[in-house]
Amino acid sequence: MPKRTRAQRKGSSKNIRTPSHRYDKEADFDDVKGEVVDIVHDPARSAPLAKIELDNGEERYIIAPEGLKTGKTIRCGISAPIEPGNRLKLAEIPEGVPIHSLETNPGEGGKLVRASGAYATVSMHDAKRTVVKLPSNKIKELNPDCKATVGIVAGSGRKEKPFVKAGNKYKAMKARGKQYPTVSAVSMNAVDHPFGGSTKPGKPKNTKSTAPPGQKTGSFGASSSGKRKR
């Protein structure tokens, strides 16, 4: 019996690593007022978190924006001023203000723009929509009742620091449950990948969508591939 390919070995559930146990802090708040008591690190996030002590004694965490300091009071609501850390509806935020942690539907919590150094910009207001420019330069229309946090997510210089050593890169990828190092398929041996053993794939890259893991490489269930001939 031939040796199992690399894709087949990876398909085993025991080899899948998920970092879900690292997400121990829920970073969101709504309709509250509190004071920032600490800035903490979350191993599952690229951005720092701000620890908030509410007026009723509860503790919450939010994604810390740039300029947020301990001792500052933050608010969530229509009456909140336009300051970093305050959370209010998109309809109340002026055009050109950087925001993060946007809701896609009113009341569901922040879903968009939560990575370190990321921010979106309010482009235009309308009666039934608010146009927002995302970090990818894509334009998205949202409900004016969706809430967002004012400011730019802290930790913008994270990618500027080099890894220097391969071990540091490996640990960073392991924390995200990603494979490292990676090798191109054509650089592998034939026993490790269907594309291996030559400088280019020696057979069509189309694969059935029902193919087993060892054969599921290339274009899955594609009706055609490559440059169209005229």
pLDDT digits (tens, 9 = 90+) for 69-123: 898 888 887 678 888 989 989 988 999 999 999 999 988 888 999 999 999 999 9
Last residue in a domain, options 158, 187, 214: 158
- Based on the domain organization, do 46 and 83 belong to the same domain? yes
Residue 5 CA: distances (Å) to CA of 58, 204, 210 = 52, 18, 17
The total number of structural domains in the chain stands at: 2
Domain residues for 194? 162-203
Is 116 in contact with 155 (CB distance < 8 Å)? yes
pLDDT at 107: 84
**Do 95 and 149 fall into the same domain?**
yes
Determine the Cα–Cα distance for residues 150 and 153; give it in Å rounded to an integer.
9
Residues 118-145, mean pLDDT to the nearest whole number? 92
Tell me the average pLDDT across 179-189: 83
Q: What is the residue whose two structure tokens read 């708040």?
A: 29
- Give the model confidence (pLDDT) of 108-124 as tens digits: 888 999 999 999 999 99
Residues 140 and 181 in one domain: no
In the chain, the amino acid numbered 217 is T
Domain membership of residue 132 (yes or no) is: yes
**pTM score > 0.75 for this model?**
no
Supply the CATH number for residue 106's domain.
2.30.30.30
The answer to whether residue 48 is domain-embedded is yes
Answer yes or no: do 31 and 61 share one domain. yes
120/72 same-domain check: yes
Residues 36 and 128 in one domain: yes
Measure the CA angle with vertex 152, ends 147 and 155; round to 5°. Answer: 130
Amino acid identity for residue 131 in this structure: V
